[in-house]
A and B are shown apart, each in its own frame.
Chain A
Amino acid sequence: MAETWIDLLRLLDGALRLATPLILCAMAGLVSERSGVINIALEGKLLTGAFAAAAAVTLTGSVAVGLAAAVCAATMLSMVHGFACITHRGEQIISGVAINIVAAGLTVVAGNALFRQGGHTPPLAPDDRFPALTLPFAETLAAVPVLGPFWGELVSGHTLPVYLALASVPVIWWLVYRSRFGLRLRAAGELPEAVESAGVSVTVLRYRGLLIAGVLCGIAGAYLSTGHGGGFVREMSAGKGFLALAALIFGRWKPWPVLFACLLFGVLDAAAPRLHGLEVPLLGPVPVALVSVLPYGLTVILLAGFFGRAEAPGALGRPPGRTG
């Protein structure tokens, strides 16, 4: 019993690690999409953040500098996105896709120029990565059954970005639903003309939405290359930005359901490696292909079956003053 409990906790522990970049990216997407900007560029911003963090840490040896570099790089890319689709009222999806392509190419070219290792950064030593934080009471509670392992295995012992990701959810919820800025932000996404006629600039609101998105994507990127992983490799975001977008839609653009969707994807992803090589009675070992496809298969089924009508923000993808 205790053994199963610990196994379950370790599974959830892995799920939390894998869900962290999804949560951060999904919250980034939530803020920008609630302001009316479709953020298909999450993937590119995440990748750029990951590269900037790994490169900065390799050059300076400080994770803090890495995190700052990641946030700056992702935010800059976010601003370019904003310049194209807010200031110049460009097509949001196309500019987003362009950002993704630029990020995929630029990270490799810059990586090659800096480190001459085929676009990789050199692998980072454990000291150059986010250390695992041990929360208070992890030691004292260790002996307590059920609760001890729960605190020690699952809650404690993660890196800083994991806690930042979890903290981002209530913060974003408060920001979007309880603050004056959030009210205007949502209005900019639903009916930008109303916001304009009230004398508030939709442009500024949407830029702010993208600014917050850039910061969150940067943290997610730093986590990917200097927290969970140890170094940058080509296209290491591996579709996480798009999966976050799926979680955003699955969670209907609301912070708590989005968090739930991210954690669900995390659990499916974490279960996959643990099912590898598992002997199932009568069937023999679980085939790798089946295990690998499980998260995606379930996602499709969940999205198709248990999910009603999408209630996207009314003016998503539409610049103000153009009703159609």
Chain B
Amino acid sequence: MRQLIRRVVLGLVLAVLASPGMALEFKPAVVYDVGTKFDKSFNEGVWNGVKKFIDETGIAVTEFQITNEAQREQAMRRLVQRGATLVIAVGFSQADAIDAVAADHPDRQFAIIDVFWLDRPNLRQYAFKEHEGSYLVGVAAALASKTGTVGFIGGMDIPLIRKFQCGYVQGVHAARGDVTVLQAMIGTTPSAWNDPTRATELARSQFDRDADVIYHAAGASGTAVIQTAVEAGRLAIGVDSNQNGMAPGSVLTSMLKRVDVATYRTLVDAMNGRFTAGVNVLGLAEGGVDWALDEHNAPLVSEEMRTSIEKARDDIISGATLVHDYTTDSACPG
């Protein structure tokens, strides 16, 4: 039924837009990852970028939400067939699919977020230095902890999430050497992004073991971590999007990963004919990652914490502090 509605809508959009002589009119499309568009985290960050673009330009952006693995390549091919000139794929698990589709359609433009290892002349790739942002929230967690134990809950056990974890642990230990970090992953398949039951149990088990701040990098499952923190009267740290407002008073801060900026920039560049292929790596210095401070978490962040985090931030940008990136050698120091 949804499929049918989508087809009818797409057909209408095509009929309206397909004016003669403009065979390749700018038509962007976005393919979200498993975990869905409204995960309040990673995918929703992309949606925020898309929304900003739509609001400013009034250009329609076709969207597709993946519900199972087999749909990825099929969805992209169908979008291209229907005239999409730019396809943005969200998430590392779409890498193979977009590589294949980009190879078959050299006249179209493609972009992917969280991938940096492909090589196509019509493909733009975005990677983020999540370890840098995670380091900052690690500093925040260590300074906010009263029990001397903090936690980390990852979504799917993949190098990318280990990168978050490793940066966080480094930040915690840099701020306070005596803090224990409890670490857990929800699962090993993409369903881990959508498993609030397991996330709740993991969060409870870490709170039971005296953790009082938990940083999650678990997409939609992370909502459950924040809810559990509210119930337990402890703190959570959000990820990707600014999640401070989800539970004011219970979210210490959020590690911002500006996928919205990456998405918005790609859309604007492609619209203005300035699309470039290649790899873009965005860290603290480029404004690609950061920590969130707003009216929702201001009461939780002491002046001392704020100074320490800002100092760590400056040191990373200046190069005085080097945060180890897990993905370079698949190992985490310490």
Across the interface, which residues of B come within 8 angstroms of A82, CB to CB? none
Query: For residue A270, which residue of chain B has the nearest CB?
Result: B201
User: Min CB distance, A107 to chain B, in Å?
Assistant: 13
Say whether A233 contacts B208, CB under 8 Å: no
Say whether A126 contacts B227, CB under 8 Å: yes
Say whether B188 contacts A288, CB under 8 Å: yes
User: Min CB distance, A284 to chain B, in Å?
Assistant: 12
User: Min CB distance, B223 to chain A, in Å?
Assistant: 5
Say whether B197 contacts A288, CB under 8 Å: no
Report B172-215 CB contacts with A as 1/0, cut-off 8 Å. 00000000001111011001001111101110110010000000
B interface size (C-beta, 8 A): 36
Say whether B196 contacts A236, CB under 8 Å: yes
User: Min CB distance, A263 to chain B, in Å?
Assistant: 16
Assess whether A156 is interfacial by the CB under 8 Å rule: no
Say whether B36 contacts A118, CB under 8 Å: yes
A window 1-60: CB within 8 A of B = 10, 14, 17-18
Question: Which of B65, B188, B196 contacts A229, CB < 8 Å?
Answer: B196
Across the interface, which residues of A come within 8 angstroms of B314, CB to CB? none
Q: Report how far A124 CA is from B223 CA in the complex, Å.
A: 10
Say whether A117 contacts B195, CB under 8 Å: no
Say whether B200 contacts A228, CB under 8 Å: yes
Chain B at the A interface: SS class:
helix
Assess whether B123 is interfacial by the CB under 8 Å rule: no
B window 207-249: CB within 8 A of A = 208, 220, 223-224, 226-227, 230-231, 246
Assess whether A274 is interfacial by the CB under 8 Å rule: yes
User: Min CB distance, B47 to chain A, in Å?
Assistant: 10
Question: Which of A109, A126, A224 contacts B197, CB < 8 Å?
Answer: A224
Across the interface, which residues of A come within 8 angstroms of B202, CB to CB? 273, 276
Assess whether A119 is interfacial by the CB under 8 Å rule: yes
Query: For residue B183, which residue of chain A has the nearest CB?
Result: A277
Question: Which of A14, A231, A288 contacts B185, CB < 8 Å?
Answer: A288
Across the interface, which residues of A come within 8 angstroms of B40, CB to CB? 123
Say whether B182 contacts A277, CB under 8 Å: yes
Assess whether B2 is interfacial by the CB under 8 Å rule: yes
Say whether A118 contacts B205, CB under 8 Å: no
Q: Report how far A230 CA is from B247 CA in the complex, Å.
A: 13
Question: Which of A228, A230, A235, A288 contacts B194, CB < 8 Å?
Answer: A235
- Which of B188, B191, B197 counts the most chain A CB atoms within 10 A? B197
Query: For residue A104, which residue of chain B has the nearest CB?
Result: B67
Across the interface, which residues of A come within 8 angstroms of B246, CB to CB? 123
Say whether B205 contacts A109, CB under 8 Å: no
Assess whether A143 is interfacial by the CB under 8 Å rule: no
Q: Report how far A274 CA is from B226 CA in the complex, Å.
A: 19
Say whether B184 contacts A277, CB under 8 Å: yes
Q: Report how far A124 CA is from B230 CA in the complex, Å.
A: 11
Report A225-262 CB contacts with B as 1/0, cut-off 8 Å. 00011110111101000000000000000000000000
| Known A118-B37, A288-B185, A289-B157; 11 more pairs at CB < 8 Å | A109-B1, A117-B38, A120-B38, A234-B67, A235-B194, A236-B194, A238-B191, A238-B195, A273-B198, A273-B201, A274-B205
Sorted from nearest, which 8 A-B pairs have the closest CB atoms? A276-B184, A118-B36, A117-B38, A230-B227, A273-B202, A277-B183, A288-B157, A118-B38
